[in-house]
Structure 1
Amino acid sequence: MGTSDAKLDQCLAVLAGPTDEHKFAGLLMVTKHLADADATTLQAVRARVLATTGVVFFLRLLHTKGSDDEALSPYRALALNLISSFCGDATLANEFAKASVVADTLEALQLGVAAANVTVVTDCHHVLQGLYLHTSSGRELLIENGLVPAVVQAMAQCCAVQPLSDAHEVILQHLVDLVRSIHDLWKALSSPDFNALLHCFGAIESRSLAKCHLQELLLRAPDERWLDAPLADVVSGLFGAWPEHGHASTQRRDTSLALIERLFSTVGGAWLVPTPDAAGDLVVLVVQLAAIEAKLLLDDAERAWIDVRVNDSAVEVIDAADDRLTRMVPICYGILEAIVSMLAGSRPDIVDASLLSGPVLAQLQDALGEVFTVVLQFLTTARDFVATFPTSLALDMVVYASVRVFGAWLAEESDFCQADVLQLLPFLLQYQPSLVTDASPLQNDDDDDELDSDDEAPPTPLLTDPLHFLLPGLLSLSADETVANVILDDDAVLQRVLQFGVSVCANAESPGVVTLCLGVSMNLLLLGSPSFTAKARFQKTLPVYMKLAQLTGQRCMTSRVYDDDATSLLLHLLNYCLLVLLGASTTSSDKAFRATLEWAQAHAPPIECDASYDLHALLLHLAARYT
């Protein structure tokens, strides 16, 4: 150890010499001496070197110009290399937080990119990143000198010639990584600079790893950045060239799908069909990508959380599968749900379905049918598993997401795999993930007390009750006599449906949700054959719905303009109450309810409001039987 210290002292003695030649020689000697040193030793020696030479030497070296035909002098290149090692040390970086260092390094960055000099750009990256991360004064100087615009300009310069050379590929990786390290990037990034990033993303024609990193960066952009962004560049980037290994890389696939889902949620999907005569092939491609990934993910989920518990010979999946599955399954489902809503006409912001050709629509329908068959199979497997084994949070989350997207599909395709759906329906309707609090006025089988709006409100769930997602599809399904009787004959399922409806009223949900609940219950009463027990379950809900009918009636009576939503809700409430009362062969002595009923009979909706007009006709028929 003494010999080693003596050798280092000798190197530092040369370094302390009076001339630049001494300093160059000393630096070379120190570098050779520390070739195999560990990080702790290097940190200590760097401090001694800087104390020996002083900062001024490196600043002077960084500012030394070469001949006129040199883009960047060897002295400046050497200075950058040396300073980069100091700036990587949090204890020394502040010594170089000076305006001249920032200005010279930013200038060198542009020169390095222009000359495709990987070494210079690498050193500039480390200097700038060290100053930004380790020094507050350096960060302020970088912001004042336009760090972000300078790096974006360098990226644009790098991407100007395609395909990228090997050197420019490495340089672009450094530039993207530098931008990603800037904490307040989105505050400092102007709209033109953001558009320049998108242009770079779309311009890259080579199989670039830097492009993968750039996509990860774009995924972090705030929503408002996308509102006026040139999305044609995003299309070129998403569906352009990718590294060959990137197609097998879950990280690259994940960020591509996440970016698509993000764009759907912020700006819709018109960017997939940029012109009215566009064929819609990109829409099909997006659905196919999301569908394929969803099927792979569900297969992984089954192997990770079900097979390993029930099959001793099952192949274990990679570690950290839970994180990826719970993150990516909802993203894929988000894309699929958006397309389903688009086809139903409820999400014209995605794509106007009328712009798509017949063959494109057929391809979409086929792809969706295939993936939802897999979703149905996964839910069936999950049902069988949780009947025997305790579930896990990760499995619960994926099942929850699957129920949501499957509900959206059933709302549009109620005849999908009817036999299999009918068998799964009790599980779907009763399913509650572990994060949702199960508390409802109807949960006690032995409690015959009437339910009214004065009952204690259920606690707020941490997740939306999954029955919310199933309601539109359940409304269509329950219009079938077989389905209606399946629900009526299963007391637990019927309680769940009625319990949900009452809780919706107690929580003051939107009229549309209440109307859906009432529509399902009316289908059960109109088309099914309820038992005595089932009729008793319906009767217990009357106080809640009769009181809501009175309140809704007062609103309609006092409104100066016709409100079809309120009228529809009132007619649903009155029809439901009449159906329950008729089934019980009894009448209500509630004068307020009778007054509301009489007013509704006398005030028919406009004939152009088809649904409400039909409900009023049903009301007149039921009221005639009731009185």
Structure 2
Amino acid sequence: LAGHSQILNKILTFNDVLLSPCDPDCTSMVDDVYQCLSAILATARGPRALVTKGTVSALCQAYLNGGHGSERALTLLVGLLAVAEAKCWQRDAPQLLAVLTKLSSDFLKAEDMTKFELCEVLPRFIPLSHPLTENSQGSECLCRLYKGLADVLGSKLSQSQRDPALKLAASLVQACGAEWIPAGRAGSKFLALLVNLACVEVRLTLEEPDPLEVEGKKEVVTACYVLMEMGIQECLREENPLLENMQKMQLMRIMEEAFGAVIFYLRQVKQEELQDPFIFASVRVLGAWMAEETSSLKQEICELLPFLVDYARKLFKEGSPAVNPPQAELVSTESSALPQDALRFLLPGFCHLTAEDKPRDILIAEGAPALLCEYFLQQWEVLTSEPTAPAPLTSTEMSLQTMCGIFLNLVVTAPDVVRRDKTFSSLMDVLLKSLPLLLPQKHHLVLTANVATLGLMMARILAGSA
């Protein structure tokens, strides 16, 4: 009934009630309006109707006015943002920023459990679609959130208090990278603490995995993965680094132990668990480590390679990974309907590994070259279906470039595989067809050079075997 068009047509009236001054006698009417709006939100057509008819703005105002039922306004906003974040921010950014301003101020000032309750609410108000760093109001909110989090994480906390704080930090990292953390001694200490806490959490949860305990911790561990990924990036950052060299070395050691726990966990995964988004998050973060840190955990990674290739193959075969959003949100523990593209995150690591004998032999034995050839063909189709106008480097183009690097490694170090494996003939056909298309497009220059080099090297080998 709540999704019926006659009810949806009343949304404007409901908004007016929320914005009208509320007499003590009228509280029941306001309660009824909130009940109706909650019911509408729960329907299929409801969220869109609420956004387009201005309910986001009305709820923001109702919350900021602090009148009767204002907490319910906040709850409804959280619900709306959960299902239609981009649309809400696109339409009502100033109002949502005003709410974030109040929430971040309350968060900074709070000295009681409210602080931790706000940790649960705030991530919903940190948009991926609307960069907060672009205006002063958003930047001030980030500054307050940083100070509030520094207070929280610098204190002695119970698990139930620490987890929401880590999730809030992760949502800030997803939205703004490390930009919300100020440069200087305090900022670098905070960043090191964040990554440290994340690594400890990952180790505690994954080193001795009790299935029930892991199940309850997936969300916070996924948040920790986001923080660890930031840790890797910051440890490698040379320009205006937030961390000092000593901190970087310490963090790399701590992260190595945490990634050891991730590998240990992945080695226990059963076939029936492969659809779990948490497995995907674990593989993705390990891919980030493999991409940058090639020397440590080498043996453990080699032992895990059969699983990684098999996992990536299964996901690839199950659907077109290209439809995956480029920025994976904090993975919920519910099963994901979208096929996930694990290969994209593993390619840089595979590129390093194919340059070395032992891991290369394992990858070849597991059929990785054939899988990568198929993936190359599929990604090439995606690239050619994208607009031809010069655009920032897409993940598709980066994947193709990285795969060229992997294939070049194989061509140079394992030419017999290229001769023997029929998929390389198919790859050669694609390279021959793709080069004429790439040549006129100057913005694909690096990929063009990669394709030309790989094609020439492969042609020499394949001609010799013909």
Fold similarity call, TM over 0.5: yes
SS in 2 for 1:287: helix
User: Contact (CA 8 Å) 1:471, 1:517: kept in 2 or not?
Assistant: yes
* Aligned CA distance change for structure 1 residues 232 and 585 (closer, same or farther; 3 Å): same
Q: Which residues of 2 match residues 148-187 of structure 1 at below 5 A?
A: 148-151=63-66, 179-180=74-75
Q: Quote the offset at 1:402 in angstroms.
A: 1.6
| Aligned counterparts of 2:210 and 2:404: Cα–Cα separation in 1 | 40
| Aligned counterparts of 2:369 and 2:279: Cα–Cα separation in 1 | 22
| Aligned counterparts of 1:98 and 1:543: Cα–Cα separation in 2 | 63
Question: Which of 144, 147, 154 matches 2:62?
Answer: 147
* Aligned CA distance change for structure 1 residues 149 and 508 (closer, same or farther; 3 Å): closer
* Aligned CA distance change for structure 1 residues 493 and 329 (closer, same or farther; 3 Å): same
- The aligned residue for residue 178 of structure 2 is 269
| Aligned counterparts of 2:307 and 2:153: Cα–Cα separation in 1 | 42
- The aligned residue for residue 198 of structure 1 is 104
Question: Which of 350, 356, 376 matches 1:501?
Answer: 376
Q: Does 2:348 align with 1:463? A: no
Q: Does 2:116 align with 1:212? A: yes
Q: Which amino acid aligns with 1:292?
A: V
Q: Quote the offset at 1:178 in angstroms.
A: 6.4
Q: Quote the offset at 1:433 in angstroms.
A: 8.0
Q: Comparing both structures, which one devotes a greater share of its residues to helix? A: 2
| Aligned counterparts of 1:527 and 1:99: Cα–Cα separation in 2 | 71
| Aligned counterparts of 1:555 and 1:177: Cα–Cα separation in 2 | 55
Q: Quote the offset at 1:342 in angstroms.
A: 3.5
Identical residues among aligned pairs (%): 21
Question: Which of 547, 567, 570 matches 2:451?
Answer: 570
- The aligned residue for residue 350 of structure 2 is 474
Tell me the TM-score normalised to structure 2 length: 0.70
- The aligned residue for residue 404 of structure 1 is 284
| Aligned counterparts of 1:514 and 1:497: Cα–Cα separation in 2 | 10
| Aligned counterparts of 2:120 and 2:408: Cα–Cα separation in 1 | 50
Q: Quote the offset at 1:570 in angstroms.
A: 3.0
Q: Which amino acid aligns with 1:496?
A: L
Question: Which of 404, 409, 431 matches 1:548?
Answer: 431
Q: Quote the offset at 1:202 in angstroms.
A: 0.7
Q: Which residues of 2 match residues 109-508 of structure 1 at below 5 A?
A: 130=31, 132-134=33-35, 147-151=62-66, 179-180=74-75, 189=95, 191-204=97-110, 206=111, 208-221=112-125, 223=127, 224=130, 226-227=132-133, 228=135, 229=138, 230=140, 231-241=142-152, 247-249=158-160, 252-272=161-181, 274-276=182-184, 278=186, 280-299=188-207, 302-304=209-211, 317=212, 322=215, 324-345=216-237, 354-382=241-269, 386=270, 390-392=271-273, 396-432=276-312, 437-438=317-318, 462-488=338-364, 490=365, 492-508=367-383
| Aligned counterparts of 2:310 and 2:104: Cα–Cα separation in 1 | 46
* Aligned CA distance change for structure 1 residues 178 and 246 (closer, same or farther; 3 Å): farther
* Aligned CA distance change for structure 1 residues 243 and 467 (closer, same or farther; 3 Å): closer
Could you give the per-residue CA deviations for residues 462-490 of structure 1, whole angstroms, max 9, x where no partner exists?
323322211111111111133333333x1
Instruction: Give the total of aligned pairs.
Output: 389
Tell me the TM-score normalised to structure 1 length: 0.53
| Aligned counterparts of 1:193 and 1:180: Cα–Cα separation in 2 | 12
- Computed over aligned residues only, the root mean square deviation of the Cα atoms, in angstroms, reads 4.1
* Aligned CA distance change for structure 1 residues 420 and 145 (closer, same or farther; 3 Å): closer
| Aligned counterparts of 1:373 and 1:216: Cα–Cα separation in 2 | 29
User: Contact (CA 8 Å) 1:511, 1:565: kept in 2 or not?
Assistant: no
* Aligned CA distance change for structure 1 residues 181 and 280 (closer, same or farther; 3 Å): same
Q: Quote the offset at 1:296 in angstroms.
A: 3.0
SS in 2 for 1:271: coil
- The aligned residue for residue 536 of structure 1 is 420
Q: Which amino acid aligns with 2:62?
A: L
| Aligned counterparts of 2:235 and 2:71: Cα–Cα separation in 1 | 38
- The aligned residue for residue 102 of structure 1 is 22
Q: Which has the larger radius of gyration?
A: 1
* Aligned CA distance change for structure 1 residues 143 and 507 (closer, same or farther; 3 Å): closer
Q: Which amino acid aligns with 2:224?
A: C
Could you give the per-residue CA deviations for residues 146-174 of structure 1, whole angstroms, max 9, x where no partner exists?
5333229x9xxxxxxxxxxxxxxxxxxx9
5+ long unaligned stretches in structure 2? 1-13, 38-53, 82-87, 321-336, 385-395
* Aligned CA distance change for structure 1 residues 278 and 326 (closer, same or farther; 3 Å): closer
Q: Which amino acid aligns with 2:254?
A: A
* Aligned CA distance change for structure 1 residues 523 and 482 (closer, same or farther; 3 Å): same
SS in 2 for 1:261: helix
- The aligned residue for residue 397 of structure 2 is 511
* Aligned CA distance change for structure 1 residues 199 and 477 (closer, same or farther; 3 Å): same
| Aligned counterparts of 2:19 and 2:383: Cα–Cα separation in 1 | 61
Q: Quote the offset at 1:225 in angstroms.
A: 7.6
- The aligned residue for residue 32 of structure 1 is none
Q: Which amino acid aligns with 1:405?
A: V
Could you give the per-residue CA deviations for residues 389-427 of structure 1, whole angstroms, max 9, x where no partner exists?
x42356x43332222111110111111222222222222
Q: Which amino acid aligns with 1:334?
A: V
SS in 1 for 2:241: helix
5+ long unaligned stretches in structure 1? 1-93, 106-123, 155-173, 305-316, 441-460, 587-627
| Aligned counterparts of 2:223 and 2:19: Cα–Cα separation in 1 | 45
Could you give the per-residue CA deviations for residues 88-145 of structure 1, whole angstroms, max 9, x where no partner exists?
xxxxxx9xx899981569xxxxxxxxxxxxxxxxxx9x86962542478xx99x9599
Q: Which amino acid aligns with 1:381?
A: Q
| Aligned counterparts of 1:128 and 1:482: Cα–Cα separation in 2 | 72
User: Contact (CA 8 Å) 2:183, 2:242: kept in 1 or not?
Assistant: no
Q: Which residues of 2 match residues 81-96 of structure 1 at below 5 A?
A: none
| Aligned counterparts of 1:178 and 1:380: Cα–Cα separation in 2 | 45
Q: Quote the offset at 1:336 in angstroms.
A: 1.5
Could you give the per-residue CA deviations for residues 526-558 of structure 1, whole angstroms, max 9, x where no partner exists?
123636xx6321x443244334334324542x4
* Aligned CA distance change for structure 1 residues 334 and 466 (closer, same or farther; 3 Å): same
Q: Which amino acid aligns with 2:63?
A: V
Q: Which amino acid aligns with 2:176?
A: V
Could you give the per-residue CA deviations for residues 250-302 of structure 1, whole angstroms, max 9, x where no partner exists?
xx433322222221122221222x245656011101111221222233247x3
